[in-house]
Amino acid sequence: MKDLYLLFSNYLSSDEIIDDATKIDSLLRDKRGRFYGRADIVLQPSSVESVKIIVKLCNQYAISITPQGGNTGLCGGAVPDGGVLLSMSRLNRIIKISPDDNSITVEAGATLYQVQQAALAVDRFFPLSLASEGSCQIGGNIACNAGGINVLRYGTMRALVLGLEVVLPDGSVVSHLSPLYKNTTGLDIQQLFIGSEGTLGVITAATLKLFNQPLETQTLWAACNNIEQCIELFHFLQKQSSGSLKSFELIGKNALLISLNDLQQKSPIEDDENNWHILCELEKYISIDSLPESLYKNGFRNIIFAQNDTQSKQWWRLRENISEAQKRYGVSIKHDIALPIGNLSDFISENSRHLQDLYPEIQLVVFGHLGDGSLHYNVFLQDMLDDRVYQHEDAINQLVYQDVFVHQGTCAAEHGIGLLKRNWLGNMKTSQELSLMCAIKQQLDPKNIMNPNKVYP
């Protein structure tokens, strides 16, 4: 630590080197408290020039770098194992907003909430929406290709990025922050860095897409007997709303009960017979006033519409609180999976049976983004709601993931690979794809200084 402090203090200002032990401790621990790392030094650059200097020095002396955004990741991707922990929190400026181009250019340390509010100030809308939006940062969102509740209409972060600025492992910079929606000049190099989890370079800035504010939104809550009925409702709303369906969230009964108990609220629809609930939102670019009547005529009876913005926010709070409520409820084995929508029902039915055969006491807490086929699929052992459950993690993962793969799914829908899932990457990528990934990593980062021991098996 002392040698690295002397090295970096020759080039950085004192406030770009973190020496507060409490702050350092919080940066070394991931959001779930599952992983705790170590760093030889923690740096917080205040400019791109400082990032360049840091990366050049690390490259020269073969020092590993772990870039970290808001430290809200769930797979250990931002937890360091020695070397430099690079906190991007001070690179947080809104650089430029262009309503004419429907774009915003920001530094990587800007929080998602900052970007949302900056867009709102010019009557525009940035659609990425996550429960951690007050603390997660744009660089981290890009590095793990964040999804969230609005993927159905707007896509993942990959679809929202127009340009990137990245410091490469040798300290050089690739910067294309122009707000161009069309640019067919060869390979789209920036796509390499979206979803790379900090293994190919340090994202320092980005130009993002903005959209017009919808005239109005309509929120509805539905109770369904089974997954098939949820999917039927999904297709009906897609057709009836002419593409204005923004989000379509699935909430299992256990997930709802945990959140309700945590918030001490009542369910929007009091009906114990229904195992699944749907929360969805439509953008009212066109008239959807006739939608309630149309739903009723087509057999969808257990549905209510939010009467005002307050009620809508209350329902969304129920949904967004599920993860935090689970944390207070106990420790679980978490899975961030996605499957073709048509395979979801069979997967849940088969896998719950396979899990119960081995662990009769399991409690499944299932919720997620049914509109794009991704689920947060969490397994609690009711007699083991603490860290002891991790003794069974390998066996539970094996049961869950083998059924995910049988049903053509992925074990990493939107949280990334990080440390947690890198040994499963070979089940989702062909040998040719893995070889290409490794070749690109070797070409850009031959000394393997960028977030080593993450993602790649």
- Give the per-residue pLDDT at 267: 94
Which of 57-71, 194-208, 275-289, 354-368 is predicted with the least confidence, judged by mean pLDDT?
A: 275-289
* pLDDT surpasses 60 at 201: yes
| Domain covering 94-212, topology | 3.30.465
CA dist 10 → 24, 46, 226 (Å)? 21, 16, 63
- Give the per-residue pLDDT at 88: 98
Residue 231's φ and ψ, nearest 5 degrees, are -65, -40
Q: For the domain with range 330-421, which CATH number is right: 3.30.70.2740, 3.30.2320.80, 3.40.50.620, 3.40.190.10?
A: 3.30.70.2740
- Give the per-residue pLDDT at 287: 53
CA 72 to chain centre: 9
Domain boundaries, the chain: 2-87, 94-212, 217-324, 330-421
* pLDDT surpasses 80 at 96: yes
| Domain covering 217-324, topology | Alpha-Beta Plaits (3.30.70)
* pLDDT surpasses 80 at 2: no
d(Cα 198, Cα 449) in Å, to the nearest integer?
10
* pLDDT surpasses 90 at 340: yes
355 burial type by CB count under 10 A (0-12 exposed, 13-18 middle, 19+ buried): buried
User: What average pLDDT does the chain have?
Assistant: 94
- Confidence band of 228 (pLDDT split at 50, 70, 90): very high
- Give the per-residue pLDDT at 77: 95
d(Cα 84, Cα 38) in Å, to the nearest integer?
9
* CATH annotation of 2-87: 3.30.43.10
* pLDDT surpasses 70 at 420: yes
- Give the per-residue pLDDT at 207: 98
SS3 state at 222 = strand
Average pLDDT of span 418-426: 94
Nearest to residue 147, comparing CAs of 325, 293, 18, 336? 336
Angle, alpha carbons 170-38-388 (nearest 5°): 130
Token code pair at residue 270: 């009091």
Range 271-276 contact pairs with CB under 8 angstroms and sequence separation of 24 or more: 271/223, 271/302, 273/225, 274/223, 274/224, 274/225, 274/302, 275/224, 275/225, 275/226, 276/223, 276/224, 276/225, 276/226, 276/227, 276/229, 276/230, 276/250, 276/251, 276/252
Residue 326's φ and ψ, nearest 5 degrees, are -60, -40
SS3 state at 341 = helix
Average pLDDT of span 149-167: 96
Any bridge partners for residue 220, and if so which?
280, 305
* pLDDT surpasses 70 at 285: no
- Confidence band of 191 (pLDDT split at 50, 70, 90): very high
Please determine whether the domains at 94-212 and 330-421 fall in the same fold group of CATH.
no
**241-257: pLDDT as tens digits:** 877 899 999 999 999 99
Tally the residues of the chain: 457
**18-59: pLDDT as tens digits:** 999 999 999 999 988 889 999 999 999 999 999 999 999 999
Average pLDDT of span 426-450: 96
